Amino acid sequence: MTKQNRKIIYLDHAAATALDPRVFAVMRPFLKSAFGNPSSLHRKGAEAKRAIEASRKIIANIIGARTEEIVFTSGGTESCNLAILGLTRKNAEIRNAEKRGSRPHIITTAIEHHAVLEPVRVLQKQGWRVTYLPVDKAGFISSDDLKKAIRQETVLASVMYVNNEIGTIQPIAEIGRIISRINIERLNKGLPAITFHTDACQAAGSLDLNVNRLQVDLMSVSASKICGPKGVGFLYVRRGVNIRPIIYGGGQERGFRSGTENVAGIVGLAKALELATMHRQRENKRLISLRDYLIERIKRSLPKVILNGPEIDYQPISSKSNGRRFLRIGSRLNRLPNNLNLTIPGVEGEALMLYLDAQGICVSTGSACTTGSTDVSHILTAIGRSEKQSKQSIRITLGKTTVKKDLDYMISVLLKTIKLIRNHR
């Protein structure tokens, strides 16, 4: 086959997903005829405004929130920044007014996305104290570490729902319960509550997003990871949680996020979330069986391969699980259905990725989110991989269009390529 007509096998769904045609269909009018500014008072404005509010309602229903608790943003990164910087700015104002001298404290994890780590680092430079919770070899934080990290001055805890590189699903509902319980004690002692934020960007396509079951106060979601458009997302802000904006201007989104709304994007985001939620159960089952097949085949041919992240132990999916099932450490349900992250001894991940790309197969060397960076992954380091092992790692993430035949082809190319690379060293 020639380069032009060869099929591309895309296995990097943690980085980006193809826009679902049904999502594009609902976005289309707002890219063309329905172009009005939602703030305009005439009919074209009202039309756009209606579309935004209908989308807000769809999302609020799915996540168990009130419509006024949803703030549309430009994506996951902005949502995380708004959560962290918005909350801490508001808190700093309160502390100044009350002339509290002690330094405020944030808890997060060692394996967060840069969208969380970077704003936290900025705050750290400004004098905030930060605890980065360590993770075990599968990427889980421990609830004991969390409890021990909490201080009188703790203002915010930010724990990602699903890790983007190794697919670890943190027990967010359990963490939410712990923080809620501690907040009740704090209230009795006259201490301010700890606000709980979760970066749910990788979770939104596959997992429960109900903010009450999860007991989160702030939650970040991006459309681009759930077959929606890029450059749009939302932040859930629980009523009573006070944040400041980080973008000022015309006062859109109730003042929390100024700037003319991305109407088509917002409509697409709502549709994408709706579709993901509707098909979640069946699609998760399908992806788990494809993913388990893939790892089994790879392990059979390459027994020295290390699976990074939660083990896949082929436990049957229990039917009466509901919610708590994600707590069973070591269960296949603690790993995102579509994720495999492998360390292949003796094979440079970057070389492998490029060889596979030359043959029409797209995988990742870990995080594509640090533009083109070849730095060692802070996530693989946190789970105990050496620098060498980190550089010998690739991430394979399946998605809506992935079928078994593609995986068979991928495996045959992968094995041939590994042999080639090893022989050339």
How many Cβ atoms are within 10 Å of 182's Cβ, its own excluded?
18
The strand pair at 129-133 and 105-109 is best described as parallel
Encoding tokens for residue 388? 């060498």
Structure tokens at 201: 């960007």
CA atoms of 274 and 280, how far apart (whole Å): 10
* Contact between residue 226 and residue 204 where contact means Cβ atoms under 8 Å apart: yes
The smaller minimum CB distance to ligand PLP, of residues 164 and 338, is found at 164
Residue nearest to ligand PLP (CB): 76
- Closer residue to ligand PLP (CB): 200 or 298: 200
Q: Which is nearer to ligand PLP, 132 or 355 (CB)?
A: 132
Q: Which is nearer to ligand PLP, 182 or 221 (CB)?
A: 221
The two three-digit tokens of residue 88, written as one number = 């801490």
Q: Which residues are catalytic?
A: 369
* Residue among 170 and 183 whose Cβ is closer to ligand PLP: 170
In angstroms, the Cα distances linking 280 to 112, 226, 233 are: 24, 11, 19
Length of the chain: 425
Nearer to ligand PLP, 202 or 417 (CB): 202
Kindly list the residues in this chain that would bind ligand PLP in the complex (CB under 6 A).
Answer: 75-77, 80, 113, 115, 160, 164, 199, 201-202, 222, 224-225, 233, 369
